[in-house]
Amino acid sequence: MTSRGAILKPELWRLLRSEFRLDWQGIHGIPHWSRVLRHGRYLASRTKAVVGVVELFAVLHDVKREHDGFDPEHGERAAEFADWLCRRALIQLPSAEQALLFYALQHHSDGHLDADVTVQVCWDADRLDLGRVGVCPCASRLCTEPARDPAYIHAAVEWAHRSPAAAFSRAVTRTDGS
């Protein structure tokens, strides 16, 4: 298991910041990534998910979006980008974990429920942040038991409504030097 945050290094943050073409503070930007990261870490702590894969998913899943609207290829682009990062050793995961990350990225917008628990945690972490666009996550469309907890869903929606994740955004800005 990767120690918390060890996989999210400053050089990776700098690269992600330069690769992301949308509004950094927008609906698919750093506030969303930070909430997905928080949800993912919470769910991983309650399952047998691989934390490093979950953390990388949080910051990679929307990095290659071309716009905030319907962009069905963004998951595939994110998986290709993750593969590029692995081939250049900018992120380092065992091959089995790479495969989980690539699959989670590629299919995160497809609505699937059945997958390895690590992939399920990735998908749930993203789906739990639907409140940011005015949609309450539906428990029947979440994969893991901890994600389906009504109290957690409610808290996730409340957080998405009130928080641009300013504290996290400030921490990332200090870490990546921008």
SS3 state at 166: helix
Task: Determine which of 34-48, 82-96, 123-137, 158-172 has the lowest per-residue pLDDT on average.
Answer: 158-172
Assign 163 a pLDDT band (cuts: 50, 70, 90): low
Q: What share of the chain is helix, strand, coil (3-state, %, to 5)?
A: 60, 0, 40
pTM of the model: 0.88
Domain segments of the chain: what residues?
Answer: 10-176
Whole-angstrom distance, CA of residue 126 vs CA of residue 88: 26
Of 132 and 167, the structure prediction assigns the larger pLDDT to 132
Mean pLDDT, rounded, of the chain: 90
pLDDT of 35 strictly over 60:
yes
Q: How far apart are CA 40 and CA 46, in angstroms?
A: 10
Q: Mean pLDDT across the stretch 33-46?
A: 97
Which of helix, strand or coil describes residue 61?
coil
> 10-176 belongs to which homologous superfamily?
Hypothetical protein af1432 (1.10.3210.10)
Within 70-137, where are the H helices? 74-87, 95-107, 117-127
